[in-house]
Amino acid sequence: MDDERRSLLLKFSTLFPPPPGVKLSYGTAGFRADASILQSTVYRVGILAALRSLKTKSVIGLMITASHNKVSDNGVKIADPSGGMLSQDWEPFADQLANAPDPETLVSLISEFVKKEKITFDRAHPAEILLGRDTRPSGESLLEAAKKGISSIVGAVSYDMGILTTPQMHWMVRARNKGLKATESEYFEQLLSSFGCLMDLIPNKSNINEIEDRLIVDGANGVGGEKLEVIKKNLNGLVIEVLNSGKEGGVLNEGVGADFVQKEKVVPHGFGSNHAGIRCASLDGDADRLVYFAVPPNNSSKIDLVDGDKILSLFALFIKEQLSILEGDAKGKNNYRARLGAVQTAYANGASTAYLRSLGLEVVLAPTGVKYLHEKAAQYDIGIYFEANGHGTILFSEHFLCWLESKSQELSSSSEGSELQKAALRLSAVSKLINQAVGDALSGLLLVEAILRHMGWSIHQWNALYEDLPSRQLKVKVVDRTAVVTANAETVAVKPPGIQEAINVEIAKYPHGRSFIRPSGTEDVIRVYAEASTQEAADSLANSLAEIVDRFLGFRSSQ
């Protein structure tokens, strides 16, 4: 690195000293911590984004969000050229950058890395970074730190895309690198036109009249509700009412939002028995997660939760149906048997995995974090991945989309208006509606709504696809969460020694018991999951594991 670059880096980095005594890690979805200690980290991630752009000669995204975390937290993550998460082989460098104790160490780390990765500085091809943030009050000043980090690399340019959902940022980066226009209006346009196309293809239009056309959405007091307000008036056949939009004075993710609804299984703030019988959905703070729920008519705060596993099941059923229609083209010249697979995590309810297998799908497990699920889903012609918490999407391979395109052409001349042609058109519309870069609550919601109308199903009929095994999730604060190390897609704890044996003894006490622990990658806690044949048994198994965590790791307090 030449002297001009070195001195610019040194000059700016002295303005962003790291917080003393804090060690941060890139984690499940980027760096997350209390916003007050993140200036230096975000500044350094700005540098990282510029280097990543130079290395890949592509546009990179930098998003400031802490998604489901409390409002006082914030975070930062990178969207790679494909629109997916930062390549995992750059995560150790991200950790080193964030934790470099002083400007000199930081600059020599960067220098060595630039050399090792053969990153070249070419004034004709500067680094380009799209910037976005969610609605957190700390976002604005953190964005300034990111801009400083980017401009610490000579010639790098950033474009502030404003307040966005995280999936919008991933979508924009993907679109830009494909040479397409990538503004928010193009994103909305793609969602609206593909949703409209699916609605036009509904086989029995009377289905639409049989189901409630109203959907009440809990916006988590975050960015998702705001964006839904923009598009809702253009959705024919769907009436959306947004509660907890953030305008009513509620706090982001506090007693609201997909994480709260899925974990606590109670109505979010603002919902009550007046919503009984109406389909309800909940987004998380940056609208990358989606769950549905129904409020029971009996004034109880408990809800019927329709989680990410059920969204996955609904999508799988619909796609399988369309593929089966196409596979039945007896006269077709250009037939193909697509490989359809589902990816879940250890949190997936056992009943959902059994249901997906009963549909004939291959089901594989990945560790928590969409970066792991996405990678596995990309190995199929159509790979559907979902975490139980509502984070997921459907990936279509280029190979499959090329085949679908040529099949559609064949059908448009041989079978215009046939069921075969409609199946091809539906799959093509799904591939445009559903975000190919990352899980997206807005596009997921529109796909759920279109499929429910296609099936003529109420939320209760959808929920009855299978019955969830009772489960419980807890989080336990410990002194050092990194003391827990897991294997086999987080189903086994290999460290600290002896903990898995203690867990096994507890699990053996419960019929159909299944349970695991894992360190969170977004909060400073150990997570506990338990499943058993009754709710009491699942609660008791989860509590026993929390006590084991306490015994092995030093308990502070549980929530």
DSSP three-state, residue 447: helix
CA-nearest of 552, 458, 486, 451 to 347 is 486
> Cβ(343)–Cβ(322) under 8 Å?
no
Cross-strand partners of 531: 471, 514
Instruction: Tell me, by CB under 6 A, how many residues bind ligand G16.
Output: 18
**Minimum separation from the CB atom of position 461 to ligand G16 (A):** 28
Q: Which residue has the tokens 């697979």?
A: 341
End-to-end Cα, the chain, rounded Å = 49
Minimum distance of ligand G16 from residue 521's CB (angstroms): 3
**Nearest approach, Cβ of 439 to ligand G16 (angstroms)?**
8
Segment contacting ligand G16 (CB under 6 A): 218-226, 405-413, 516-524, 541-549? 516-524
Determine which helix (DSSP H) or strand (DSSP E) holds 163, and give its type and residue range: strand 157-163
Instruction: Among 5, 391, 472, 481, indicate the residue that binds ligand G16 (CB under 6 A).
Output: 391
135 lines the binding site for ligand G16 (CB under 6 A): no
368 scored as a contact of ligand G16 (CB under 6 A): yes
User: Contact between 424 and ligand G16 (CB under 6 A)?
Assistant: no
Element (H, E) at 342: strand 340-344
Q: Does 68 bind ligand G16 (CB under 6 A)?
A: yes
Single-letter code of the amino acid located at 310: K
Among 186, 201, 521, 547, contact with ligand G16 (rule: CB under 6 A): 521
Instruction: Specify the DSSP element, H or E, that contains 194.
Output: helix 184-200
**Residue 67 annotated to the active site:** yes
Choose, by CB under 6 A, the member of 128, 134, 307, 387 that binds ligand G16.
387
Bridge partners, residue 362, by sequence: 341
Residues 512, 532: Cα–Cα separation, whole Å? 5
Q: How far is the CB of 73 from ligand G16 (least distance, A)?
A: 10
Residue 81 or 439 having the CB closest to ligand G16:
439
What does the alpha-carbon distance between residue 366 and residue 478 come to, in Å, rounded to a whole number? 25
Looking at the Cβ atoms of 152 and 282, the one nearer to ligand G16 is 282
Instruction: Find, among 388, 389, 366, the residue nearest to 377 by Cα.
Output: 366
Given the complex with ligand G16, which of 202 and 223 has the nearer CB atom?
223
Told to check if 389 binds ligand G16 by CB under 6 A, we report: yes
Show the tokens assigned to 93: 């460098």
**Binder of ligand G16 out of 218, 226, 449, 523 (CB under 6 A):** 523
Is residue 74 a contact point for ligand G16 (CB under 6 A)? no
Instruction: State the DSSP code for 306.
Output: E
> Which of residues 13, 28, 135, 471 is near ligand G16 by CB under 6 A?
28
Binding residues among 276-295 for ligand G16 as defined by CB under 6 A: 284, 288-289
Phi/psi at 534 (nearest 5 deg)?
Answer: -130, 160
Taking the C-alpha atoms of residue 414 and residue 329, their distance in angstroms, rounded to an integer, is: 11
Min dist. Cβ of residue 392 to ligand G16 (A): 9
Q: Which of 40, 53, 67, 443 is catalytic?
A: 67
Q: Which residues are catalytic?
A: 67
Interface residues with ligand G16 (CB under 6 A) are: 28-29, 67-68, 284, 288-289, 368-370, 387, 389, 391, 520-523, 527
